[in-house]
Amino acid sequence: MQELDTQITFDYQSERYKDAYSRINAIVIEGEQEAYDNYCQLAESLPDAKDDLLRLAKMENRHMKGFQACGRNLAVTPDMAFAKEFFAQLHGNFQTAWAEGKIVTCLLIQSLIIETFAISAYNIYIPVADDFARKITEGVVKDEYLHLNFGEEWLKANFEAAKAELEDANRENLPIVWAMLNRVADDAKVLGMEKDALVEDFMITYGEALANIGFSSREVMKLSAQGLASV
C-alpha cells in the first residue's frame, strides 16, 4: 500500500493525464462489464449459488456505471476497443472453460485472478485519485473483497476435488495477468500508480486467497509466482 503522508496533486485535466485515463478507465469499465457477464454465466452453472452470484453480478453492473461516471467527470472518452482487446485472452479462456463445464477454472479466472487484480489496482489508485473517483472507488473495492471471498469459500469447500484443476488453471492464466500488468504499467504510472506496488499488492492478496482455500505455504509460493519472471 502507498503512503498517505505526502499529499500528491495531479493535473487531472492535462492532456497527458486524460490520454492515460482513456485507456485505464476503459479497462476498468470493460473489466466490470465482463465480471457482470461472468457471474451471470456462473449463476446458470451453479444453481445452489444462483442467488448469491446474481447479487454479485448486480454489484458489478453498479461498479461499471460508477467508473463510467468517473470518466465523464474528467471529460474523458474511454477507449473501449483497446480495453476489449486487453481482456481478450482471459475472456477467451473463461468462455472455453465455461463451455467445457470447468467451473473451477472459471472461478479461478473471475473470482480469484480478476478480483485480486481489481483489488490491488483500486487500493493503489485510491490515494492518487481525484475526489470524485476516490469516493466511487472506495465503495467499489469493499464489494470486490466480497467477490474474492465468494470464490475462496466455494473453492475451499471443494478443495480436494478442485486442487489439480486450480493448479492447471493458475499455470495457464496467471502469466496472462503479468502480461496485462506490463501493458498497462506506463499509463498507470501517469496516474501515479507504480507497477512494483501493483505487483506486490497482487501477490499478497492472491497468496492469502490461495492459503484460505487450503494450499500449503510452499504451494502458495509456487502458485502465486507462476510466470512472474516475465514481469
Nearest one of 181, 178, 112 to 145, comparing CA atoms: 112
126 binds ligand PL3 (CB under 6 A): no
Subset of residues 31 to 90 that bind ligand PL3, contact rule: CB under 6 A: 31-32, 35, 60, 63
Q: How far is CA 214 from CA 14, 140, 159, 203, in A?
A: 47, 27, 7, 17
Nearest-angstrom CA–CA distance, 112 and 61? 19
162 binds, among Fe ion, ligand PL3, none (CB under 5 to 8 A by kind): none
Q: How far is the CB of 191 from Fe ion (least distance, A)?
A: 18
Question: Is residue 188 exposed (0-12), middle (13-18) or buried (19+ Cβ within 10 Å)?
Answer: buried
Nearest-angstrom CA–CA distance, 99 and 201? 32
* Run of H or E including 204: helix 195-213
Q: Where does this chain touch ligand PL3 (CB under 6 A) — which range of 118-126, 152-160, 210-218, 219-227?
A: 118-126
Q: Which of 30, 34, 60, 187 binds Fe ion (CB under 5 A)?
A: 60
27 binds, among ligand PL3, Fe ion, none (CB under 5 to 8 A by kind): ligand PL3
| Of 18 and 147, CB closest to Fe ion | 147
Q: Which of 20, 24, 83, 109 binds ligand PL3 (CB under 6 A)?
A: 24
Nearest one of 84, 110, 112 to 97, comparing CA atoms: 110
66 binds Fe ion (CB under 5 A): no
155 binds, among Fe ion, ligand PL3, none (CB under 5 to 8 A by kind): none
Nearest-angstrom CA–CA distance, 215 and 1? 25
Which residues contribute to the site for ligand PL3 (CB under 6 A)? 24, 27-28, 31-32, 35, 60, 63, 114-115, 117-118, 121-122, 125, 144, 147, 184, 188, 193
